Structure 1
């Protein structure tokens, strides 16, 4: 890939990591009055890690079994708009959102609770 090809990819990744970070900060901030700083940041981190893990696992499954799914879809004559590239992109988005979410929860934990 050339440098020109990486710029849109980098912006896309940064956008989804930022979305995840906003979700992580908002969730932790909403939970602080209810359960306290430590539990709020721990919960936000756990949910972010869950989203990240789901994204990685399903992205890997799409890469590994995407050809089989496409063959089954062709064989059955399905009318769905599912594509391998679309599925990979969707689960990559979940992965990057989970990264931002978890990172924001860690940052808030350090800021609110300390090391």
Structure 2
């Protein structure tokens, strides 16, 4: 399920700054990157299952591996994890209201922190 109107889609920031802001709010990049793309995850383990809030990003001309990139964020999404198959984002998935509220609060907090540093094209 994608989150609409978060203000994060198309926001751009330096990779190192973005790593710090995301980590502050529980979104971890870990090894989920290649030289042009990143994924930040926040894991939720609740009675209804295991879910991931994900924020994807990409760079047009930087190098993520060298920590030298301006990252443009994409639309955030939440998905349910099914072992051993992976994460499903489909509309037929059930996402508890308390999970969605927590995700929305996290995304709003990230946006508030990012506002001071966002790069406007």
Q: How high is the TM-score relative to the length of structure 1?
A: 0.29
User: Highest CA radius of gyration, 1 or 2?
Assistant: 1
| Greater length-normalized contact order (CA 8 Å, ≥ 6 residues apart) | 1
TM-score by length of 2: 0.27
Query: Larger helix proportion, structure 1 or 2?
Result: 1
